[in-house]
């Protein structure tokens, strides 16, 4: 009897434990955006097209990393310059084990296991290549081919995606999904030099221009029509400084969108402006299949501008050109239909995993901030913070559309909000809007005035960081009441931080001297000044400057001679005159342009003069 009862109970237990019909997986919306302005929805994406999903896991200790970043970047803090190691930074952004486990289980439920995945060193990013059909199943979504109205480029995207409820809190974002950006270079003017030999001779014999802050108080008159290495050295008080080149200092330039830096053009530039650098070159590091083709007809104006001036100004400091492959456009009938994320995330992955990145890195590429999902912008910005904590200074061009989008032509600017309301709004750029990078605006002529295309304004994503409060509040207080009310966010991170010359730069392109401009000239110019300052500090046994902004704003308040204040000019856009340059910080030239001589004394004497 006892045996019968036991067997009966066992059968009941097994029956109750037997698996029934699988419970449906309940998804919860992770992101849902309006149809993006400037893009037309086409047909469904090919189900067998391959996309690489990038899954961001939460970084629960990022606030602690941010605390460290600000302490080691504040010139008046006892920890100033005590940058974190790569291992220390990675430890502060590593996800909670539960997040890693939950995401692993979700991926495994779709047949994706460890061998299929690529992880960042901190395990806060997971990458996996999947067909569109599987991505749609995983995220309960539908991908379409979207066409850009301006250039006809196409990308595979969706405007809404979800993840299972139990996964929702363990994932910050997944891309490519809602990212409708158009990464582009910032060179806005491009023309063959037209100065005649007679005109050049006339300028060469004209008396120099008196500028009290310049080296020797004088700048060659020719700098009003052509900017050269000598002009920058004179104007920013850097004549005569000779960097070591052997103290561990290093400068980097990023290149995207098949912009190739030409070695032969570099030698022509050196022969013309920096003869002592002749026969020297730079290291090329390809990322994600990046190339640097060397036929003259493939030389890139953006890449040549950035490398010729940055590497000419900082010679003999070791230098690297990072050429990153991949670009957002997707061509449905391509032989290998693979759609990528924005390529600067591939560069960021690489440089964060580098044990010894350059102390100074300049980038002249950006997107309209509103085309970048907030979750993605915040996560990429956090990556820049990680570099800053490790002692890397990052400069970005502030943009070439004034207060409008990156389009330098006011007639075709699209100054409408991308949030479904379609209201007129100033358009800042990202990454310059990230508070952990230094945004560089532009000037022109001698004495300097703001160049009218200089990007500036206020972020709609990032709030104003504390290091900007005093300087930016003074600017806002001076604006006439109601000026551009509703067109910008006065509580946002303010752009730019600083400025430098941005037009009439003489470079060599495909063997020909040309004149070119844009804040793409200003960013590598300012980065070069920072690299020279780093050289002086490293030679004196001091650490690199790292994340610059807390230092820059502190110096403007305590040592105003460190910057040349720009008070003339404005940056029109969106059918308005834009903002005016004014005394102190302004939303077109920031704190002003650098005075290297003063800055060098400050950074060598612990900021006390």
**Span 465-474, mean pLDDT?**
98
Query: Is 584 labelled a binding residue?
Result: yes
Using CA atoms, how far residue 165 sits from 24, 59, 134, 136, 162, in Å, is: 11, 19, 18, 16, 9
Q: Which of 164-173, 318-327, 379-388, 456-465 has the lowest mean pLDDT?
A: 318-327
Measure the CA–CA gap between 445 and 179, rounded to whole angstroms.
38
Give me the domains of the chain, ranges plus CATH numbers: 27-59+94-180 (no CATH), 185-328+343-415+430-460+499-550 (3.40.50.200)
The DSSP line for 380-398 is HHHHHHHHHHTT-EEEEE-
Residues 94-121 as b or e (16 or more Cβ within 10 Å = b): bbeeebbebbeebbeeeebeeeeeeebe
Q: What confidence category does residue 189 fall into, taking pLDDT thresholds of 50, 70 and 90? A: low
- pLDDT, residue 152, reads 83
Q: Which of 27-31, 224-228, 421-425, 490-494 has the lowest mean pLDDT?
A: 421-425
Measure the CA–CA gap between 500 and 313, rounded to whole angstroms.
13
Query: Is 566 labelled a binding residue?
Result: yes
Structure tokens at 357: 């990145």
Q: Which of 9-23, 269-283, 385-399 has the lowest mean pLDDT?
A: 9-23
Q: What confidence category does residue 339 fall into, taking pLDDT thresholds of 50, 70 and 90? A: very low
Q: What confidence category does residue 408 fall into, taking pLDDT thresholds of 50, 70 and 90? A: confident
**Span 208-235, mean pLDDT?**
96
User: pTM for the whole thing?
Assistant: 0.92
Structure tokens at 327: 């670009």
**Span 52-68, mean pLDDT?**
97
All residues at 6 or more sequence positions from 97 whose CB lies less than 8 Å from its CB, including other chains = none
Using CA atoms, how far residue 492 sits from 308, 433, 434, in Å, is: 34, 9, 10
- pLDDT, residue 184, reads 66
Mean pLDDT of the chain: 90
**Span 510-515, mean pLDDT?**
96
Is the pLDDT reported for residue 17 higher than 90? Answer: no
Is the pLDDT reported for residue 337 higher than 70? Answer: no
Q: Which of 64-68, 159-163, 419-423, 435-439 has the lowest mean pLDDT?
A: 419-423
**Span 4-27, mean pLDDT?**
47
- pLDDT, residue 282, reads 98
Write the pLDDT tens digit of every residue in 119-150. Answer: 999 999 999 999 999 999 999 999 999 988 88
Q: Which of 39-48, 177-186, 210-219, 433-442 has the lowest mean pLDDT?
A: 177-186
- pLDDT, residue 419, reads 78
Measure the CA–CA gap between 125 and 65, rounded to whole angstroms.
17
Among 498, 505, 594, residue whose Cα is nearest residue 307: 505
Write the pLDDT tens digit of every residue in 592-603. Answer: 999 999 999 999
Is the pLDDT reported for residue 195 higher than 70? Answer: no
The 10 Å Cβ neighbour count of residue 57 is: 24
Is the pLDDT reported for residue 255 higher than 90? Answer: yes
Greatest distance between any 2 Cα atoms in the chain = 119
Q: What confidence category does residue 352 fall into, taking pLDDT thresholds of 50, 70 and 90? A: very high
Among 156, 115, 119, 153, residue whose Cα is nearest residue 135: 156
Residues that are catalytic: 302, 306, 520
Residues comprising the chain, all counted = 609
Write the pLDDT tens digit of every residue in 62-94. Answer: 999 999 999 999 999 999 999 999 999 999 999
Q: What confidence category does residue 25 fall into, taking pLDDT thresholds of 50, 70 and 90? A: confident
Strand partners of residue 363: 396
Structure tokens at 90: 């990675």
Among 307, 254, 258, 302, residue whose Cα is nearest residue 280: 307
Q: Please return the burial class of 316, using the count of CB atoms within 10 Å of its CB with bins 0-12, 13-18 and 19+.
A: middle
């Amino acid at each position: 009897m006892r045996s019968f009862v036991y067997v009966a109970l066992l059968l009941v237990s097994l029956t109750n434990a037997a698996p029934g019909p699988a419970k449906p997986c309940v998804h919860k919306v992770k992101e849902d955006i309006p149809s993006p302005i400037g893009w037309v929805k086409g047909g469904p994406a090919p189900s067998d097209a391959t996309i690489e999903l990038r899954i961001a896991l939460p970084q629960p200790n990022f606030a602690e990393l941010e605390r460290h970043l600000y302490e080691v970047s504040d010139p008046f803090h006892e920890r100033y310059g005590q940058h974190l190691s790569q291992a220390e930074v990675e430890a502060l952004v590593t996800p909670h084990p539960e997040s890693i486990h939950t995401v692993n289980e979700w991926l495994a439920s779709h047949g994706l296991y460890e061998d299929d995945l690529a992880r960042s060193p901190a395990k806060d990013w997971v990458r996996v290549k999947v067909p569109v059909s599987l991505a749609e199943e995983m995220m309960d979504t539908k991908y379409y081919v979207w066409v850009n109205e301006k250039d006809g480029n196409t990308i595979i995207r969706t405007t809404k995606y979800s993840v299972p409820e139990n996964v929702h809190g363990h994932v910050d974002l997944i891309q490519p999904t809602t990212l409708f950006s158009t990464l582009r270079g910032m060179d806005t003017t491009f023309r063959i030099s037209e100065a005649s030999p007679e005109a050049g001779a006339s300028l060469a014999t004209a008396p120099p221009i008196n500028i009290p802050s310049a080296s020797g108080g004088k700048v060659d008159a020719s700098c009003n029509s052509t900017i050269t290495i000598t002009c920058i050295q004179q104007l920013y008080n850097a004549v005569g400084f000779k960097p070591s080149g052997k103290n561990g200092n290093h400068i980097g330039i990023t290149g995207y969108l098949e912009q190739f830096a030409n070695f032969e053009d570099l030698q022509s530039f050196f022969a013309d402006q920096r003869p002592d650098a002749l026969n020297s070159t730079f290291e090329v590091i390809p990322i994600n299949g990046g190339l640097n083709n060397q036929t003259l007809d493939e030389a890139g104006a953006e890449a040549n501008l950035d490398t010729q001036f940055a590497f000419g100004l900082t010679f003999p400091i070791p230098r690297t050109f990072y050429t990153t492959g991949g670009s957002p456009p997707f061509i449905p009938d391509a032989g290998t239909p693979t759609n990528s994320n924005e390529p600067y995330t591939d560069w960021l992955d690489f440089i964060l995993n580098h044990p010894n990145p350059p102390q100074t890195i300049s980038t002249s590429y950006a997107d309209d901030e509103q085309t970048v999902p907030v979750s993605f912008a915040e996560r990429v910005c956090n990556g820049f913070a990680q570099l800053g904590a490790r002692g890397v200074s990052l400069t970005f061009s502030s943009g070439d559309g004034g207060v409008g989008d990156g389009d330098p032509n006011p007639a075709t600017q699209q100054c409408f909000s991308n949030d479904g309301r379609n209201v007129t709004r100033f358009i800042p750029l990202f990454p310059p809007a990230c508070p952990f990078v230094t945004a560089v605006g532009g000037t022109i002529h001698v004495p300097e005035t703001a160049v009218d295309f200089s990007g500036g304004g206020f972020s709609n994503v990032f709030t104003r960081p504390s290091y900007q409060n005093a300087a930016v509040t003074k600017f806002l207080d001076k604006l006439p009441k109601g000026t551009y009310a509703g067109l910008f966010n006065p509580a946002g991170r303010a752009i730019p931080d600083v400025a430098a010359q941005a037009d009439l730069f003489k470079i060599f392109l495909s063997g020909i001297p040309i004149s070119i401009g844009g804040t793409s000239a200003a960013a590598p110019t300012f980065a070069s000044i920072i690299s020279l300052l780093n050289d002086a500090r490293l030679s004196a046994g001091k650490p690199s400057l790292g994340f610059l902004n807390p230092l820059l704003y502190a110096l403007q308040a305590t040592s105003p001679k460190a910057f040349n204040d720009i008070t003339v000019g404005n940056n029109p856009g969106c059918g308005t005159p834009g903002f005016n340059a004014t005394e102190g910080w302004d939303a077109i030239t920031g704190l002003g342009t650098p005075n290297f001589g003063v800055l060098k004394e400050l950074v060598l004497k612990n900021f006390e003069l």
